[in-house]
């Protein structure tokens, strides 16, 4: 099997300090948390930012500051969100590509999301894919339900993103597909052969989906964006704790952990610091 790519999602848009007092929120806290996770074995960091009050935000300056603080300290692959909340301005969602991360999240369709609606209409997806291509950033295709695979391939057909397509299966969001082994198997068999994929389980499903993905040859995402509990009733104190656990479990399976450069190779990313965005 390929070496295992561990993505750490330190913060997200939904988790709050009420959920966990350990949630990193400021650019410095997020960068510190990413650095610890990188030391523990994470190859990719999926980044969201918050405003002064800790609310979800697409503030460009906060992204820029966070990216700078991370790049000063380590070579982790950067994956910036294009969906730092609901009801965002489209231009703010697209603009993160100008920071030249290697990956940008590409939520491949609209859906109910808890009590709200998460909007990713076809014309927005085309513009996001186009913007990512202009900036030499690869879309990480986030799939919350099976139809989103077809949506993403429809956009790919227009030439705005090239193989290998990288899929992130997000299971267990209320409104999306439940986190079950059957659903993960179905999704993994529904993408073009040879495409790298990774799995996220929300909340108590995080570890189950991680374990399945490790055994099936997929990759994994962990972190407080998806789950704040290390085990039932016990909050994780750091994002690195989740990464350390995956490293231990993967080694029992005999799967090596991918370095950031190996992740770049496996996902078909440009080499670090070779951005092409002139915007
Ligand atoms: Zn996210």
Burial class (CB in 10 A: 0-12, 13-18, 19+), 53: exposed
Band of pLDDT at residue 94, cut at 50, 70 and 90: very high
Whole-number Å distance, alpha carbon 58 to ligand 1 midpoint, is 12
Whole-number Å distance, alpha carbon 13 to ligand 1 midpoint, is 7
Residue with tokens 């499903």: 205
pLDDT at 277 over 70: no
Whole-number Å distance, alpha carbon 12 to ligand 1 midpoint, is 5
3-state SS assignment for residue 126: helix
Cα 238 from Cα 218, distance rounded (Å): 24
pTM, 2 dp: 0.96
Whole-number Å distance, alpha carbon 82 to ligand 1 midpoint, is 8
Whole-number Å distance, alpha carbon 81 to ligand 1 midpoint, is 5
User: First-to-last CA distance in the chain?
Assistant: 39
Whole-number Å distance, alpha carbon 233 to ligand 1 midpoint, is 24
Taking a 5 Å cut-off on Cβ, the residues next to ion ligand 1 are 81
Band of pLDDT at residue 84, cut at 50, 70 and 90: confident
Mean pLDDT (the chain) is: 95
Whole-number Å distance, alpha carbon 47 to ligand 1 midpoint, is 7
Whole-number Å distance, alpha carbon 258 to ligand 1 midpoint, is 21
Whole-number Å distance, alpha carbon 83 to ligand 1 midpoint, is 7
3-state SS assignment for residue 40: helix
pLDDT in tens, 204-252: 999 999 999 999 999 999 999 999 999 999 999 999 999 999 999 999 9
Whole-number Å distance, alpha carbon 118 to ligand 1 midpoint, is 13
pLDDT in tens, 151-169: 999 999 988 888 999 999 9
| DSSP state, residue 19 | T
Whether residue 67 contacts residue 104, with contact meaning beta carbons closer than 8 Å, is answered with no
Whole-number Å distance, alpha carbon 49 to ligand 1 midpoint, is 10
Alpha helices in 41-180 (DSSP H): 60-73, 90-95, 122-134, 147-157
Whole-number Å distance, alpha carbon 107 to ligand 1 midpoint, is 10
- Token duo for residue 231: 């085990």
Burial class (CB in 10 A: 0-12, 13-18, 19+), 134: middle
Bridge partners, residue 118, by sequence: 111
Average pLDDT, integer, range 122-135: 96
Among candidates 77, 2, 63, 65, which has minimal Cα distance to 34? 77
Whole-number Å distance, alpha carbon 57 to ligand 1 midpoint, is 12
Band of pLDDT at residue 279, cut at 50, 70 and 90: very low
């Amino acid at each position: 099997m390929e070496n295992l790519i561990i993505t750490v999602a330190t913060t997200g848009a939904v988790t709050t300090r009420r959920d966990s007092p350990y949630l990193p929120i400021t650019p410095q806290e997020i960068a510190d948390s990413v650095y610890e996770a990188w030391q523990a074995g994470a190859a990719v960091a999926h980044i969201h930012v918050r405003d002064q009050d800790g609310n979800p935000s697409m503030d460009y300056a906060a992204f820029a500051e966070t990216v700078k603080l991370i790049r000063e300290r380590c070579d982790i692959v950067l994956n910036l969100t294009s969906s730092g909340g609901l009801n965002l301005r489209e231009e703010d969602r697209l603009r993160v590509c100008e920071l030249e991360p290697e990956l940008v999240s590409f939520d491949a369709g609209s859906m109910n999301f808890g009590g709200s609606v998460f909007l990713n209409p076809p014309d927005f997806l085309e513009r996001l894919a186009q913007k990512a291509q202009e900036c030499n950033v690869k879309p990480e295709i986030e799939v919350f339900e099976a139809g989103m695979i077809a949506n993403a391939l429809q956009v790919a057909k227009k030439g705005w993103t090239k193989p290998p397509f990288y899929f992130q299966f997000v299971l267990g969001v209320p409104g999306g597909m439940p986190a079950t082994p059957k659903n993960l198997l179905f999704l993994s068999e529904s993408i073009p052969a040879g495409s790298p994929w990774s799995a996220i389980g929300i909340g108590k499903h995080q570890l189950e989906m991680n374990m399945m993905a490790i055994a099936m040859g997929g990759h994994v995402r962990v972190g407080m964006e998806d789950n704040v509990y290390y085990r039932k009733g016990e909050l994780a104190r750091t994002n690195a704790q989740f990464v350390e656990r995956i490293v231990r479990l993967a080694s029992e399976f005999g799967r090596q952990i991918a370095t950031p450069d190996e992740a770049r190779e496996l996902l078909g990313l440009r080499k670090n610091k070779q951005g092409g965005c002139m915007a």
